[in-house]
Structure 1
């Protein structure tokens, strides 16, 4: 079920890192966005913790000058230099091959990928204790502070040494069975992916802690970035059935037009690789600001989050957020299918029944309890597919709330 890229990143992290604190990059779209000195936002979802790029670096939030010992200002420049952490070689899974690499004797292929390690030097990390924040911080940082999500610094990375084109040998593809429901539909399976040099496959993070005017880095323990934060403290104890029923209940009260607007918006963002995160961020920003902003392609969906009086509709908003969280869990192949699901709405009820029965048969422990699903990628994708199909099926049902 995993994409070629995710299969490789998980292999690299597993082979080179012990302790489980290195995070595998899940999508090739994000492979150049988690470099050293970048800031990563932590978000709690129904499937556990999600790490999201922010587009921010230390230079965007820290002052270049700091007060000296006698009250004088001394220059402090954030050094973007990184130290080498070594060069490594990792053997690829048997089903993944490197195009153009020659075969060895007896018809076997011992194919390997070259990896570079980089890290922020320890002395640079220690210099981040009690650093002054800029007076005029970027709007995206202020948005994260209002959400009280945890913010982390990328301190170490594993990257490709060279450009590599990886190819998957012919095997059973999880997504192929879905084509049985769409006669004549030709599924474009991802058979190869090209990864440029110095693209990140895995990264390590350290928590950042903020007071009103200062930033600190946490070395020893996991602390909240914003001490009064609550968004990551609340555990979601619902099981899969409860999550789906709550989501369907929130979507059920939408009007026919609102349901069509949501489906149209999802189709737009799913058809543009990497843009689904933008839609998710727009929903979060609307919740924080409480303002109805209709600009851009996300506007019609944002409008559905507010009632006729312009008041935030909590039930609907939570349902759409759960649906977006589930969509983000799907690999590129799965997101490709979602657009087809939206087009072929008559097939959805049968698909929901099929996925639900398979989920109960093969992953029953997660159907009843999602608390420990973080480390099981296959189960996460299957559960996410079940949530997505259930949500789309509800959006295609006739509304009892007028038009």
Structure 2
């Protein structure tokens, strides 16, 4: 074992940061044996020094001067768990300039400035690891980055936000509405006081950008990801899915076209058949399907959030980075050599499930079918329920471009015999 300990600066001491500090301290001997050198906390940067913290660390390690901490010449690794864009970006760049490798859980930063951070890591000869940024404790990014690097990934499909999965699961299992399920998620600590990032899909979109970038060796940012949250998913939508033997999930979908010329990345609610493995993902768990040419279908499943699970991923990255420091090497750079075009949502090929409140009279179905035909959208099934003012048509389509499907919906809304387009839901997994 190396005589010189490796010094680690920790930025942030919230839910995740506290667990990282606790695990680093209580498992120091094991970590040292696995790395080949002891790891020690050089300092912990926090916003408020006076706050009481029940941690087995020396209080003298806490500092409010994060920039001074990452600039210290004795710091080997910086662990960033403060989140957000700034000051996290500036602190990470400053640490790299001083020769420190980086472990971060910051999905928003990586989705916006991943290319800049990877370029800086390459320039300064340091590591940049971020397994905890997507799907918490689930080992997912390193398989994409390393294990599958000799394969061709075709599609990544997954549930990457535990809060929304909990809400939709409750709506499915209890018949609750969105607001009621959100209140329960908040009471149990699964949802933040301001749940916007989760329920509007921003969190999942950032993760989708990271997944698409790694899977397809292409720079994809959060702005490239089509995003639609779950706030408009109603109890009737979930009930309709149940009647069809399906379940509603918020999915992150990243795929490459057959010619491998363009990629799409999207986040939106979708119906999944209950026979699909992702349909059985309950509560606040995450799961991701990866489809590749040689390996076929792989599924990664586990807790996607929480202090201890996320800290587990951070510690895994910390061990990998410290081993590289001890051995005088570094991880292979992440490649964006493919530089594929990121296509718009309208080019994505998907299926729709559409519920229409219609006039109960002869010829309505023919009018509806004509609009689908004019938009070059093929109908898979159609069924009618109710009579009179309760008449409803439920249409399931074959695969078509999202532009053609959304154009069909707009024309249906303008049809005099259609009183309302009650529900529109994409369908995946079939």
Bin the TM-score by the shorter chain: under 0.3
More strand by share: 2
**Higher relative contact order by CA 8 Å / sep ≥ 6: 1 or 2?**
1
Which structure has the greater CA radius of gyration? 2
TM-score normalised according to structure 2 size: 0.22
| TM-score, structure 1 normalization | 0.23
